[in-house]
């Protein structure tokens, strides 16, 4: 899958808690790691893994059985 084929993701350019602007490098880290701590207010910014799709109940039940 090329970069053009990937679904568009919401990108943050500032901390949602304090509004401090994220550097380009912090934006890259957030897009890769899905979590980042703001240097200004120490708020932990986390992107939800299941943002667009909900986990399947059968998959959750199967994980509990094993």
Structural domain including 24 reads: 10-47
Residue 56 has pLDDT above 60, yes or no: no
Specify if 60 maps to a domain: no
Specify if 21 maps to a domain: yes
| Longest alpha-carbon distance in the chain | 45
The number of domains in the chain is: 1
Predicted local distance difference test score (pLDDT) of residue 28? 92
Q: What is the pLDDT of residues 3-38, one digit of tens each?
A: 454 555 567 899 999 999 999 999 999 989 989 999
Distance CA 47, CA 25 (A): 16
pTM: 0.56
Which tokens sit at 3? 């970069």
Q: What are the C-alpha distances in Å from 65 to residues 55, 56, 59, 61?
A: 16, 15, 10, 7
Specify if 1 maps to a domain: no
Specify if 57 maps to a domain: no
């Amino acid at each position: 899958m090329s970069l053009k084929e990937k679904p568009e993701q919401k990108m943050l350019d500032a901390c949602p808690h304090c509004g401090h602007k994220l550097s380009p490098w912090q934006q890259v880290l957030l897009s890769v790691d899905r979590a980042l701590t703001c240097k200004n207010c120490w708020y932990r910014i986390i992107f939800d893994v299941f943002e667009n799709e909900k986990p399947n109940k059968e998959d959750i039940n199967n994980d509990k059985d094993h």
